[in-house]
Chains A and B, each alone.
Chain A
Amino acid sequence: MKKLLFLLLVLSLCLCTVFAASAYENEAFYQGAEKGEVINVFNWGEYISDTYEDGMLDVNREFEKLTGIKVNYVTFESNEDMYAKIKNGGASYDIVIPSDYMIERMVDENLLQTFDPTQLPNYHYIDSKYKNMYYDPDDTYSVPYNVGMVGLIYNTKMVDETPTSWKIMWDEKYAGKILMIDNPRDAFAIPQKILGYSFNSPDSKQLDDVAQMLIDQKPLLQGYVMDEVFNKMESGEAAMVPYYVGDYIIMKEINPDLAFVYPEEGVNIFVDAMCIPRTARNVDAALKYINFMLDPEIALTNAWYIGYASPNTSVLESEDYAEMAENQYLYPDDEHMPNVEYFHNLPQETLNQFSDLWNQIKMAGGTEKDVYIGFGVTGVAIVGYLVYKYVTKRRRAYWYDVSKS
């Protein structure tokens, strides 16, 4: 009898896993792919669950298993990198995941195509808070993927005080231990808030002030980083960096000395959303992919893996996510909510000024004296050598003539 019970138990467990493996909602929606169909996905680095460890799912593999569509997955480091690639049309992608202001710009420049998200069976999971956003007022270009904010990550072993202001990033005490985020919008955002400016002001005088602050800060910096931030903060190489809250949660698991704060001056809040570029070749697969990302199971595994806040209501209601859902950095309640502002797209003139100033910041620091001295010495040496050669040649010729005569 016991044996039978045990067998039954095993059997039911097996059945459970079978069901679990195919527990996606509305599977009929994913059927009908032709053989050899391919989808090209262009996403941020470290921005999708790609492992079966710790009970997570490899999202792209799961999508391939479910639909039979092969996923070509390519990553980018910043909105600007992604934009340059799409704009110049070097490659065609079916899904791209830019941030809010970049979506606005791409819509403006006609780089995205419209679709009707309400025809996706899982669209109802999107929190109504994140519908009809300013960058896509009619919800015709994008479906939100993740929500995040930028705050200050710092190492409590290296920073004695509890920072409350972005100004600590200009404190000489921490010279050589400060990292800055390596893309113009996020880097400018910090002095903009210190000076009390909006992120979206096209005022060129204000931008000059901001750039000057970044130039002044440069001697104190250890470097500008994007994805290397994980290595530098986890190893204790750097003391502080402004970065995305979701990544803090991942880093904190490896280095428990790290702490996080939303500085009082204000921070950037952003939504990254899934869009379909105009040049997409497989829109049908793209819609399936978007819908798949909204599936409760997949959204949950992504929320776990990426650590960013999810706009998916099913995730927040999930019991497995309860601990994360209470995290005050990820989902601050009204009391803890920092002063936030979204990025908006800027006029072309301001964008030009942005990249111009960013070049200047990157080049700032000038040339050290030894470079000029070096060039001088080398130049003199070269001239000296040539003169010496010329003189010896002439002398040789002279003696040759003398000996002949």
Chain B
Amino acid sequence: MTKNTALKKVISAPYLVWAALFIIVPLIFVVYYSLVDAGGSFSLEYIKSIGRYKDIMLNSIWLGFVATIICLVIAYPLAYIMARSTKNVQRTMMMLVMLPMWMNLLIRTYSLMILLQDTGILNSVFTFLHLPVRHMINTRAAVVLGMVYNYIPYMILPLYSIMVKIDYGLVEAAQDLGASRFSVLRKIILPLTAPGIASGFTMVFVPSVSTFYISKKLGGSTFSLIGDIIEMQFKSANNYNLGAALSLILMVLILLCMAIMNRFTGDDDDGGVLI
């Protein structure tokens, strides 16, 4: 037994060191910077000024939420179809899902901008077909599209990995007992895939809410998300304290959203799934 725990310690050491260096220490820095003023003495000035950023925070959370729901709606059936296909088809589909991720997010977003511009590729096709030019770039829809496009693999993967493990016998049993298709979905498949939904939700929602590059390129930076404002504080405004305070509040808000989410998926109080 003692040997076992010693081994455990050795095995977990790399991750613990990693977590301490790159998760705990940065978090401490964020908390520290948000609680001091420019001179380094304790002050709640920046935390208190957060009220002025209320609108933009709501906006960011809402757009992130919408993007996540769209991802879920697209990914859920797709993941199910994937999981029920033959091994070969599964492999091919997995490749297709992963393929865009071989390119960098910045390049994908920049290409999307060129695609959607008023003089972009899509509009050139429209003009060629004598259709009116549609204004697509620099809208909230374009930003949500960018989020969905970039983050949908993070929704498909956890859903798929949960769904391949479902014992299909349960579905057949339910059907034998006379459950309608809808009941099978609601009573069998949904509860069994809840952990996948929860982790997919987290993996899409969190980066969407805090994104800055996507909104800058596809929103034309005439409307900003909270990520843009935070980036500005660190990159050009040189106001680490405000940036840290905003990040801290955003973290708290995201945790809150995740907690609410877990009320749904942690069915019948069997505990938090993934936060």
Q: Which of A183, A221, A235, A375 is B117 in contact with, Cβ under 8 Å?
A: A235
A182 to B62, CA, bound (A): 26
Within 8 A of B (CB), among A142-165: none
Chain B residues with Cβ under 8 A from A363's Cβ? 53, 55-56, 224, 229
Chain A residues with Cβ under 8 A from B221's Cβ? 182, 223-225, 362
Q: Is the CB of A81 within 8 A of B58?
A: no
Within 8 A of B (CB), among A70-105: 78, 80-81, 83-84, 87-88
B91 in the interface (beta carbon within 8 A): no
- Kindly supply a per-residue 1/0 record for chain B positions 144-164, scoring 1 wherever the CB is within 8 Å of any chain A CB and 0 otherwise: 000000000000000000000
Tell me the dominant secondary structure on chain B's binding face.
Answer: helix
Q: Is the CB of B222 within 8 A of A222?
A: yes
Within 8 A of A (CB), among B224-254: 224, 228-229, 232, 234-240
Chain A residues with Cβ under 8 A from B264's Cβ? 382, 385
Q: Is the CB of B263 within 8 A of A386?
A: yes
B103 in the interface (beta carbon within 8 A): no
A117 in the interface (beta carbon within 8 A): no
Q: Which of A223, A235, A374 is B119 in contact with, Cβ under 8 Å?
A: A235
A371 in the interface (beta carbon within 8 A): yes
Chain B nearest Cβ from A118, distance in angstroms: 34
A78 to B222, CA, bound (A): 19
Q: Is the CB of B55 within 8 A of A366?
A: yes
Q: Is the CB of B58 within 8 A of A371?
A: yes
Q: Is the CB of A362 within 8 A of B238?
A: no
Chain B residues with Cβ under 8 A from A358's Cβ? 232, 237
- Kindly supply a per-residue 1/0 record for chain B positions 47-90, scoring 1 wherever the CB is within 8 Å of any chain A CB and 0 otherwise: 00000110110110010011000000000000000000000000
A236 in the interface (beta carbon within 8 A): yes
A193 in the interface (beta carbon within 8 A): no
B135 in the interface (beta carbon within 8 A): yes
Q: Is the CB of A223 within 8 A of B222?
A: yes
Chain A residues with Cβ under 8 A from B193's Cβ? none
Most buried by B among A362, A368, A378: A362
Q: Is the CB of B236 within 8 A of A84?
A: yes
Chain A residues with Cβ under 8 A from B59's Cβ? 367, 371
A359 in the interface (beta carbon within 8 A): yes
A interface list, Cβ under 8 A from B: 78, 80-81, 83-84, 87-88, 176, 182-183, 218, 221-225, 228, 231, 235-237, 355, 358-360, 362-363, 365-368, 371-372, 374-375, 378, 382, 385-386
25 contacts between A and B (CB under 8 A): A84-B234, A84-B235, A87-B238, A88-B240, A223-B138, A223-B219, A235-B117, A235-B119, A237-B117, A355-B239, A359-B229, A359-B237, A362-B228, A362-B232, A365-B223, A366-B55, A367-B55, A367-B58, A368-B140, A371-B59, A374-B65, A375-B58, A378-B65, A382-B260, A386-B263
- Given contacts A81-B236, A359-B232, list 10 more A-B pairs with CB under 8 A: A80-B236, A176-B138, A222-B222, A223-B219, A231-B114, A355-B237, A362-B228, A363-B55, A365-B223, A367-B55
